[in-house]
Structure 1
Amino acid sequence: MSTQDNAPDRRAGAPDGTGRGAGALGALRIADFSRVLAGPYATMLLADLGADVIKVERPGTGDDTRAWHPPADHDGTSTYFLSVNRNKRSVVLDLTTEAGREQARALVAESDVVVENFRPGTMERLGLGHQELRARHPALIYCSISGFGSGEGAAIPGYDLLVQAVGGLMSVTGTMDGEPVKAGVALVDVITGLHASLGILAALRHRDATGEGQLVEVNLLGSLLSALVNQASAYAVAGVVPGRLGNAHPSIAPYETLPTADRPIALAVGNDKQFAALAEVLGDPGLAFEDRFRTNADRVAHRAELREILTRLLSTEGADRWSTVLLAAGVPAGPVNGIDEAFAFAQRLGLPGIVEIPAAAADGDSGKPSRQVAHPITLSGTPARYPLPPPRLGQHTEEILRPPNP
């Protein structure tokens, strides 16, 4: 809860028995005008930590991802939408009308944070831009998410596939002799959502100290360039333009997937000690002492020869067997799992995987719980909570827009 005089007079939780108001961000209210992935992912992470997130949706269709199916749950709701919208309340507002915009301004007046990812200039045309809202609410944190910034790239649509292509990620993803490929998920959106949530928390910390709100801007292209890390640094520092290496690493070997007797295994050998242990387990300890494989730089220089030898040695056993003995010897290794196997693996390790949120039967739901992927951050004192399943379109419009009792 903000202690600043010009911050909203926040209530300690909602009066509906859900427990909103608890958690690390328990007195925080977010007016969330975002849709699809980057913005909703950011606000869901904050909602898991206690923030009261009001999801503003357009009449009739709501968030685009509500229609992105199959697959869908038992009620026909897109699993894409369900993946990033738990712990939120949905209100339907028609922002094309003055009445809807006035309701939006009233919602903002009771909020600490606004999040939006419309094309740059849209919120300004609606009278909901940063400058106008900040003039009324100096303590407001306003987070704007775009594809390519608000300058020369403002008109370029911000789709993840497009950013992966023009931002360089596809140029380093795929086999050397194949075509560039995208990541298997909308990775740039997810990274941008993480950056947005970090920026919001930093702005809130500043407001705690000064009482001042500010504009937080993140964009998909800038987030991707940052996330390219070592590949981007190779260009920025050394002028090297990386290319595709399949599952291999440009600076480490062996650090890739290799075939076994049944399915591929991932080997992440990061130092000479681990390579010596790998050679020992595979039955050829002398590999670690050959000049062409003695150091990591040697192994990178002779990557193709090393791969051929390791493939022959690994062909005698399956991936699960090799993973067991290699891990026991201190060599990072594991099979290439399907998503079902990945969740099973996390469960065996005692890590949170899937959580179930009870259905709000009083609201007319089917009574079946909502299965959700657990929040990835563990906090010892204020852990993530799951009071609400993803909302039906407009489910909370009446309770949110209801005038306060006199």
Structure 2
Amino acid sequence: MTRPLEGVTVVAVEQAVAAPLATRNLADLGARVIKIERIDGGDFARGYDHVVHGTGAHFVWLNRGKESIALDLKVPEGRDIARRLVATADVFVQNLAPGAADRLGFGDLRAEHPELVVVNVSGFGAGGPMEQRKAYDMLIQAEAGLIAITGTPETPVKTGIPTADIASGMYCSQAVLAALLRRWRTGEGATIEVSMLEATVEWMGYALYTQMYAGTQPTRMGLSHASIAPYDAFPTRDGQMLIGVQNDSGWRTLVTSVLAAPELADDPRFTTNVDRVAHRAACDAAVAGHTARWTNAELDERLAAAGVPAAQLKEVGQVVDHPQLRARDRWRKVGTEFAEIDALLPPATFADVEARMGDVPALGQHTRALLAESGVDADDVIARGIAGPPRA
């Protein structure tokens, strides 16, 4: 069967996480993605580390299924080649530093190609006092208030994954799909702006409304929950188990069927969720005193059999071999410039066709072919250092 975006061409001048995630989503759906990289080192994410057989972990995560051309966009000939590629594309995505796209001549693409979908991903958006500020993920998390509500009461922390980058990348790919749908109906292109700050603030949803209408910021609760109890990690004989009981019938099931402590069901301190939150410390201590009687595996089995929401606190190494992912056959092999690696299928599963899990390109791997496709003398521009493999 046909993949949803087969026949769509995307040209991206991108780096780091946000825009590359967006275009990788499009590549997985079948789009042809041409990644224009700096000739002197390429995408910054290539050099974050070299843990995946010599390639950066961020880069292999975000760039499968793309074609890489290395261009010197600081010279007119390099910019001309980029514009030739854009002339045959459906979508153009960039997340350069503020103002850089305009300086490179990419600010007027819609004037030449009104049917083009152009997406500009930035940290803070055009205009406003912070337009020119650098916008790394941690900085955006701080400005958006995410760090303020994440962590323990004593210590705020950023999330362990680049949440601001991921949020903006997902909104970027979503907007591209919407714009393409409109274009297929009307022939009209689009100019779209995605701000990392605004994407992350959107994800703050309930916290914003709590602040605006209750006048209070949600409390940092670690693994716990400000409005629900018990909702935390509880000790076992060999580790911890996360348990979350969201209603009163669930509480009765937990203490009677799982913990074999029916006396807790009618304890007036714990009868309702409101009572349990008011007596959280006592409630948590009572649960912990019983969970410690079993191993993780034993308690997990008891909780699952009773239908009580719970999860084992897995390390990343355990997730790599997660039995649910293995049972659902979610891993595929993709190539990189040095070795074949495992890659996880995208979360959205089409019943009739699988995502295109393309290889991760080496820097400039497709330069010569793309130059020829653009009608450029490849030997000449490579010899002059305008395009090609990275400079020595």
Considering the TM-score relative to the shorter chain, is it more than 0.5?
Answer: yes
Say if 2:4 is the partner of 1:28: no
In structure 2, what residue type is equivalent to 1:369? E
1:106 corresponds, among 72, 80, 84, to: 84
1:358 deviates by 4.9
Could you list the runs of 5+ residues in structure 1 that have no partner in the other structure?
Answer: 1-20, 360-364
- Show the counterpart of 2:139: 162
What is the deviation of 1:289? 2.6
Q: Deviations over 1:360-392 (max 9, x none)?
A: xxxxx55x4232122111011233121x21100
CA deviation digits over 1:276-298, x for unaligned, max 9?
A: 21111111123233332222222
- TM-aligned CA deviation for residue 404 of structure 1: 6.3
Structure 1 CA distance, aligned partners of 2:208 and 2:231?
Answer: 19
- Mapped to 2, the partners of 1:296 and 1:92 lie a distance apart of 59
Q: 2:182 aligns with which of 202, 206, 215?
A: 206
Shift of 1:233: 2.3
SS in 1 for 2:69: strand
| Offset at residue 321 of structure 1 (A) | 1.6
C-alpha contact (below 8 Å) 1:116/1:143 kept by paired residues: yes
Pairwise CA RMSD:
1.8
Q: Distance in 1 between matches of 2:349 and 2:193?
A: 27
1:91 paired residue number: 69
In 1, are the aligned partners of 2:334 and 2:360 still within 8 Å (CA)?
no
For the 8 Å contact 1:260–1:316, the answer to whether it is kept is yes
Match of 1:126 in 2: 104
Q: 1:138 aligns with which of 114, 121, 145?
A: 114
Distance 1:255 1:83 in 2: 33
Q: Does 1:375 align with 2:346?
A: yes
Superposed CA deviations along residues 50-99 of structure 1, whole A, max 9, x for unmatched, are 000001100020000111114231xx111221111000000111110100
Q: Give CA deviations for 1:174-213 in whole Å, capped at 9, x if unaligned.
A: 1112x21111111211121111111111111111221111
Q: Does 1:72 align with 2:52?
A: yes
Q: Tell me what 1:82 maps to.
A: 60
Percent of aligned pairs sharing the same letter: 37
Specify which of 196, 202, 219 is matched with residue 243 of structure 1. 219
Where does residue 399 of structure 1 map in the other structure?
369
Secondary structure, counterpart of 2:105 in structure 1: coil
Matches within 5 A, 1:328-347: 328-347=305-324
Query: Which residue does the alignment assign to 2:37?
Result: 57
SS at match of 1:30: strand
**CA shift at 1:352, angstroms?**
4.3
Alignment gaps of 5+ in structure 2: 376-392
Given the superposition, is the C-alpha separation of residues 403 and 173 from structure 1 closer, same or farther in structure 2, using an over 3 Å criterion?
closer
Question: Matches of 2:48 and 2:182 in 1, distance apart?
Answer: 38
Distance 1:291 1:339 in 2: 40
TM-score, normalised via structure 1 length: 0.87
Residues 370 and 389 of structure 1 are in contact (CA less than 8 Å); yes or no, is this contact kept in structure 2? no
Contact 2:81 2:374 in 1 (8 A): no
C-alpha contact (below 8 Å) 2:97/2:122 kept by paired residues = yes
Aligned residues of 1:49 and 1:382 also touching (Cα < 8 A)? no
SS across alignment from 2:224: coil
Equivalent position to 2:236, from 225, 243, 260: 260
Q: Structure 1 residues 348 and 383, CA, compared in 2 at 3 Å: closer, same or farther?
A: closer
Structure 2 CA distance for partners of 1:48 and 1:346, relative to 1, 3 Å: farther
Match of 1:10 in 2: none
Q: Which position in structure 2 is the counterpart of 1:284?
A: 261
d(CA) in 1 for partners of 2:259, 2:174: 44
For 1:183, the equivalent position in structure 2 comes to: 159
**Contact 2:37–2:71 under 8 Å retained in 1:** yes
C-alpha distance 83-330 of structure 1, shift in aligned 2 (>3 A):
same
Change (3 A) 1:397 1:348: closer
- Given that 2:19 and 2:93 are in contact with CA atoms closer than 8 Å, whether structure 1 keeps it comes out as yes
1:114 counterpart SS class: strand
Question: How far apart, in 1, do the equivalents of 2:81 and 2:181 lie?
Answer: 28
Q: Please give the alpha-carbon distance, in whole angstroms, between the structure 2 residues aligned to 1:349 and 1:356.
A: 14
Q: Structure 1 segments of 4 or more deviating over 3 A?
A: 346-349
Amino acid at match of 1:173: T
Q: CA deviation at 1:337?
A: 0.4
The structure whose RCO (Cα within 8 Å, separation 6+) is larger is: 2
Aligned mates of 2:197, 2:335 — CA distance in 1: 38
Partner of 1:26, secondary structure, is coil
Change (3 A) 1:141 1:268: same
Query: Cα distance 1:349–1:329, how it changes in 2: closer, same or farther (>3 A)?
Result: farther
